Structure formats: C-alpha cells, structure tokens
C-alpha cells in the first residue's frame, strides 16, 4: 500500500464546528458580562465578531493565527473601555475551554482506532482546538496547527512540514478534509492525495471550488478506510 499516513483536518471533519464556536462565544460573553461589564454595555456578540473581521486586515498574522486575533481584539476593546487588558488572557482561557468542548461525529472514534492499525495518523488544522484536552491526541503522531506553525492551509509549507515530521514523501501521505481549497487542493499541490470529507452530500459542481478534483469523496471516516 503506497499510502502510509493520513493527515486529518479537524473542524467539520472530526466534529461539527458551528455549534462549538457559537457555544464558545456565548460562554465568553457571559463571562464578560460578569468580569468586564463595560464591554457588554457597548459591544454585542455580533459587534465583537464584526470588529474581529475588520482587525484581520491590520496584520497578516491574523489570517492564520486565530488565537492571536481574538486575544488582540479583546485586549484592544478592554483598553478602549478602561478594563484591565490583562483580563484578555483570562477571557481567552474561558473561550478556549469552551472551544474544546466538541462532540465528535459518531464514526470518528471507531474509525481512528481502525485507521491507526494500518497507517500513521496526523492532523493539520487552521483552528486552535487542543487535541489533548479533547482526548484524542494519542491517535496522532503529528499535529500541526496554523497558529503555532506560522502559516495556514493551503500554504505548501505546513503540508511539507507534516511530511518531514512523518519522515515520508508527499506521495505516501493522504489528506482528508472538508474544505476543497484548503485541504484537498492544498494537499494535491504538493503531491499528496486529497480526499474530500463531504458529510452533508454537497454537489461538487455547486461549490465555490468545483474546479478541484478530489482523489476520493467520502461521507465519513469509515469510507476512508474502504478507500485505502
């Protein structure tokens, strides 16, 4: 078997992310209401989200370091409203804790156990979920996250770094992810196989990146096992 390792995306590949982010932002906002009441007086969750989007334009780092983006925004808002900027660190801890309260798709744990018997597993993510806190870090030999690595998918460097850590060539590695551009195209441009995780059975031709041609399309991790 040519494929010796499988690199998995996290958000929307191993768990649904929208409810996680909504829960994390709501939990953070409840914390702000208690510890920084000035903030919630002047900013709604939606206004904080809009300010965060605007802040991305101010620093290229914020394109890949989502932790720094959120932390910087909170620090700026706290300073603006006379709150202790040091509280931004505490607020981020609250957010991160809620961010890691994910619900894995039902197929994930059984499939990770089976996959790990046949190939080496790793993760490459643009988010900042903590696999150790979530409880699945033991399945993965390598886990690269954009915020700590210094660039995000589909940048070839993060994929090649994963290959280097695995001591494998790109043609020996498969990437599985839900994003056609970031995961599938990103993998294919360096010579890896790119598999599209299409859990919601979206028509490829109706996507924004219909020009991308995945090596396979799967609806769950069990189908990855069959493909291998």
Among 99, 133, 162, the domain boundary falls at 99
pTM of the full structure: 0.93
Q: Are residues 57 and 70 in the same domain?
A: yes
pLDDT at 85: 87
Q: Are residues 44 and 112 in the same domain?
A: no
User: Could you list the mean pLDDT of each consecutive 10-residue stretch along the chain, which spans 228 residues?
Assistant: 93 97 97 96 96 95 94 96 93 97 98 96 96 98 96 97 98 98 98 98 94 97 96
pLDDT at 1: 58
Q: Are residues 92 and 141 in the same domain?
A: no
How many domains is the chain partitioned into structurally? 2
pLDDT per residue as tens digits for the range 136-168: 999 999 999 999 999 999 999 999 999 999 999
Among 99, 132, 148, the domain boundary falls at 99
Q: Which domain holds residue 117?
A: 5-15+102-227
Q: Are residues 54 and 110 in the same domain?
A: no
CATH of the domain at 36: 1.20.120.1600
pLDDT at 173: 98
- CB-CB neighbours of 58 under 10 Å: 11
Q: Are residues 114 and 219 in the same domain?
A: yes
pLDDT at 87: 95
Across 72-90, b (16+ Cβ under 10 Å) vs e yields bbbbebbeeeebeeebbee
Q: Are residues 120 and 85 in the same domain?
A: no
pLDDT per residue as tens digits for the range 167-178: 999 999 999 999
SS3 72: helix
Among 36, 67, 99, the domain boundary falls at 99
Q: Are residues 194 and 208 in the same domain?
A: yes
φ/ψ of 197, rounded to 5, equals: -85, 105
* DSSP string of 112-178, one letter each residue: HHHHTTTSEEEEEESS---HHHHT-GGG-SEEEEHHHHS--TT-HHHHHHHHHHHT--GGGEEEEES
Say which residues have a Cβ less than 8 Å from residue 78's Cβ, sequence separation at least 6.
Answer: 36, 39, 84, 85, 87, 88
Q: Are residues 206 and 158 in the same domain?
A: yes
Q: Are residues 143 and 50 in the same domain?
A: no
pLDDT at 53: 95
């Amino acid at each position: 078997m040519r494929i010796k390792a499988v690199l998995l995306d996290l958000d929307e590949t191993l768990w649904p992310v929208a409810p996680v982010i909504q829960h994390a932002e709501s939990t953070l906002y409840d914390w702000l209401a208690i510890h920084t009441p000035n903030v919630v007086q002047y900013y709604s969750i939606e206004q904080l989200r809009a300010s965060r989007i605007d802040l991305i334009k101010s620093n290229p780092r914020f394109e890949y370091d989502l932790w720094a983006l959120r932390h910087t925004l909170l620090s700026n808002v706290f300073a603006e409203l006379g709150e202790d900027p040091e509280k931004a660190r505490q607020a981020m801890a609250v957010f991160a804790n809620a961010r890691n309260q994910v619900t894995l798709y039902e197929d994930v744990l059984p499939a990770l156990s089976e996959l790990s018997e046949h190939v080496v597993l790793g993760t490459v993510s643009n988010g900042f979920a903590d696999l150790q806190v979530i409880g699945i870090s033991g399945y993965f030999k390598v886990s690269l996250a954009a915020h700590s690595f210094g660039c995000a998918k589909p940048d070839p460097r993060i994929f090649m770094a994963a290959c280097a850590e695995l001591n494998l060539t790109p043609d020996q590695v498969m990437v599985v992810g839900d994003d056609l551009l970031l995961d599938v195209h990103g993998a294919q441009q360096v010579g890896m196989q790119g598999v599209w995780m299409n859990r919601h059975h979206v028509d490829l031709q109706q996507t924004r990146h219909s020009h991308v041609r995945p090596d396979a399309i799967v609806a769950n991790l069990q189908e990855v096992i069959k493909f291998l």
